[in-house]
A and B are shown apart, each in its own frame.
Chain A
């Protein structure tokens, strides 16, 4: 099992209709019946429509959407806490939808672990016993389970709190327990359902850092649900944006910020701090012959903010952008970077103008 390379998650043509007679309406929905029509004519609710997402192994896939967009429904299809109406969910090549009860239970014990928005800890168990819950369910012997659990409790920064009850901990600490419980399972898939939405902004940032640091070593296939675009952009290797049960855009944070698929996405993106998201290669201009770059070259993948910091402390003039092998691919200067921060932001100007009027 150790040598086996986990094959990632593939969701194909996934449909979910809520209602007593869901199966009967799938074809109509496939043929274009809208959510509103389905609700009006048949009293059924369309939860998800034709979801197709490929989540490669070892990356963080963020699914973003507002409440009612179907994001929590979608993540529950991956470990089949919700049964789909139609479609396939392939985890490591096996279709979760076709599993029987016993297979599903084994799958949940060993292949997935989940972190919940409201923590969902067992109030009558202390931190240690909560953390080893998944291992206990697997049937692991107690001493071994305690070992593993203690390691993860320490790793998420809760050493010394093992014998406290969830009620005695703050929200952030409770979610650390939730994370430790999920990680103890050592499952290749980590499902995080709005895991940080109930936390204060500062603690949320803190927990995001914890996840990113951990991910560097554990390399799980993480599915992270959020309604917060900043969180999505910070964490996601890939982002899918969901609206009314449909994926309206998929791509990297760069794609989402620089090329929003429609007004809905654009509306979200305009509030984002582009300096922290957009990379230099999106801003740079091609090398002109005869141009002589100065200062330390900047590697591709650097954010605008970091690049500005580097250039601000260097000499005046153009700076080269180099790829991973050090080969120059373009040039940058402060003017370009500053432009990128405010460009495409008609709306920002408008807000500025209206602010001026008020003042």
Chain B
């Protein structure tokens, strides 16, 4: 009756061998292609460095003004702009300016990359049910697989640094971008699409004039989600050498510095709220035409 209490499992030797073979295989792969892959990602590295240099080396009043100008341009709301100003000043006053700027530049690059990769995938996915069935489980894995687990192969391939951090963050943050682009396009009114067809639109014209504009509110929600998830990954990414607000938090965890952890944690919350309010206000403004209803 032994098998009732102990799950009949693969015998230990074969299991050990299996793991060893996979590990060996991956290691060989890393050894032979690691450099090529690193080369492939080097433009990203460059982009990251430029963005970070800009954020940290520009005098703080100018950066503050730029952020406030973006907030105003996107939201046209004094309240949002004031909120941004107060948050930024508080962050600077508590000496977290540099780390915050590094995090913001990282999030910025992550978001751009997620949009650039996510929207085309979402568009292709919305056109084929089969592809949607194929991609959805992959997205599920990307979102639920503990982030530490996919840090391992990324670090093995690319070592420690900004680019592997970026990739880890994008893997975690891109699914909502893809999903909501797909959903937004699928939700576009069938009648309007039929009208576009009836006037002889090509599929590019349909995408550009009808599907993307009408899916835009949903896509904006996707961008917002992506930013939030990228921020949530900042601490984990700091484990593989991404600089920014995550590193003090990591230090605080290791040494039980309660206040240090709290301050940096709150700074992450602060920029998360800025990003969220500004992008949501922008999304709302894009839909202005939907709000004014004939009485």
B280 within 8 Å of A (CB atoms): no
| Distance between Cα atoms of A108 and B291 in the complex (Å) | 33
Is B198 a contact partner of A168 (Cβ separation < 8 A)? no
Q: Is A113 part of the contact surface with B, judged by Cβ < 8 Å?
A: yes
Q: Is the CB of A116 within 8 A of B191?
A: yes
Q: Main SS of chain A's interface residues? A: mixed
Q: How far is the CB of A109 from chain B (nearest CB, A)?
A: 4
Which chain B residue lies CB-closest to A166? Answer: B289
On whether the beta carbons of A120 and B200 are closer than 8 Å, the reply is: no
Residues of A within 8 A of B16 (CB): none
CB-CB contacts of B274-295 with A at 8 A, as 1s and 0s? 0000000000000001111110
Cα distance, A221 to B290, chains bound together (Å): 35
Query: Which parts of A161-181 form the interface with B (CB within 8 Å)?
Result: 165, 167-170, 181
Contact with B along A130-174 (1 / 0, CB 8 A): 000110111000000000000000000000000001011110000
The answer to whether B191 touches A118 (Cβ under 8 A) is yes
| A105 at the binding interface (Cβ < 8 Å) | yes
The verdict on B24 contacting chain A, using a C-beta distance below 8 Å, is no
Q: Does any Cβ of B come within 8 Å of A114's Cβ?
A: yes
Query: Taking CB as reference atom, which chain B residue is nearest A107?
Result: B200
Given known A-B contacts A165-B292, A167-B292, A169-B294, A120 and B194 have beta carbons under 8 A apart: yes
Query: A238 on the interface (CB 8 Å rule)?
Result: no
B96 within 8 A of A: no
Q: Is the CB of B199 within 8 A of A137?
A: yes
Is A21 interfacial (CB-CB < 8 Å)?
no
B192 and A168 contacting across the interface, CB-CB below 8 Å: no
Chain A residue contacts of B77, Cβ below 8 A = none
B10 at the interface (CB under 8 A from A): no
CA distance A107 to B199 in the complex (A): 9
Q: Taking the complex as formed, is B213 at the interface, i.e. its CB lies under 8 A from any CB of chain A?
A: yes
Binds A, one of B173-181, B201-209, B247-255: B201-209
Question: Which one of B200, B209, B292, B293 has the greatest number of beta carbons of chain A within 10 Å?
Answer: B200
B199 and A170 within 8 A (CB)? no
B292 touches A168 (CB 8 A): yes
In the complex, B195 has a CB within 8 A of chain A: yes
Judge whether B192 and A133 touch: CB under 8 Å: no
Docked CA distance A167–B295 (Å): 10
| A79, A121, A165 interface centre (most CB from chain B within 10 Å) | A165
Contact of B289 among A79, A124, A191 (CB under 8 A): A124
Nearest-neighbor residue (CB-CB) of A139 within chain B: B205
Q: Say whether B23 faces chain A, with CB atoms less than 8 Å apart.
A: no
Interface residue total, chain B, C-beta cutoff 8 A: 24
Contact residues in A for B35 (Cβ distance below 8 Å): none
Q: Contact flags (1/0) for A106-129 with B, using CB distance below 8 Å?
A: 111110111010101111101000
A113 to B196, CA, bound (A): 11
Identify the closest chain A residue to B189 (Cβ): A120
Given contacts A120-B192, A122-B192, A167-B294, contact A105 B198 (CB under 8 A): no
Q: Is A185 an interface residue (CB 8 A)?
A: yes
If the complex has contacts A118-B191, A167-B294, are A123 and B199 also in contact, measured as CB distance less than 8 A? no
Cβ of B214 under 8 Å from chain A:
yes
- Residues in A with CB closer than 8 Å to B216 are 124
Closest-CB distance, A91 to chain B (whole angstroms): 14
Cα–Cα, bound, A191→B201 (Å): 17
Is there a chain B Cβ closer than 8 Å to A81's Cβ? yes
Q: B205, A167: Cβ atoms under 8 Å?
A: no
Q: From B198, B202, B214, give the contact of A123 (CB < 8 A).
A: B214
Q: Are the CB atoms of A109 and B195 closer together than 8 Å?
A: no
* Chain B residues closer than 8 Å to A126, beta-carbon distance: 289
Are B197 and A81 closer than 8 Å at their CB atoms? yes
List the A side residues contacting B210 at CB < 8 Å. Answer: 122
Q: Determine whether the beta carbon of A124 is less than 8 Å from that of B195.
A: no
Q: How far is the CA of A107 from the CA of B196 in the complex (A)?
A: 14
Q: Is the CB–CB distance between B200 and A109 below 8 Å?
A: yes
Contact B290 A123 (CB under 8 A): yes
A121: chain B residues within 8 A (beta carbon):
192, 195
The chain B residue with its CB closest to the CB of A104 is B200
Residues from chain A with a CB closer than 8 A to the CB of B201 are 105, 137
Residues of chain B with a CB closer than 8 A to A167's CB: 289-294
Knowing A123-B214, A124-B213, A137-B205, the reply to whether A116 touches B294 (Cβ < 8 A) is no
Contact with B202, one of A105, A113, A124, A134 (Cβ below 8 angstroms): A105
Contact of A114 with B200 at beta-carbon distance under 8 Å, contacts A167-B294, A168-B294 already known:
no
A106-B200, A108-B200, A122-B209 as given contacts; A114 in contact with B195, CB under 8 Å: yes
What is the CB-to-nearest-CB distance from B150 to chain A, in angstroms, rounded to a whole number?
A: 39
In addition to A137-B199, A167-B293, 6 A-B residue pairs with Cβ atoms within 8 Å of each other are A105-B202, A108-B197, A112-B198, A123-B192, A124-B289, A137-B196
Point out residues on A near B: beta carbons under 8 Å. Answer: 79, 81, 104-110, 112-114, 116, 118, 120-124, 126, 133-134, 136-138, 165, 167-170, 181, 185, 191
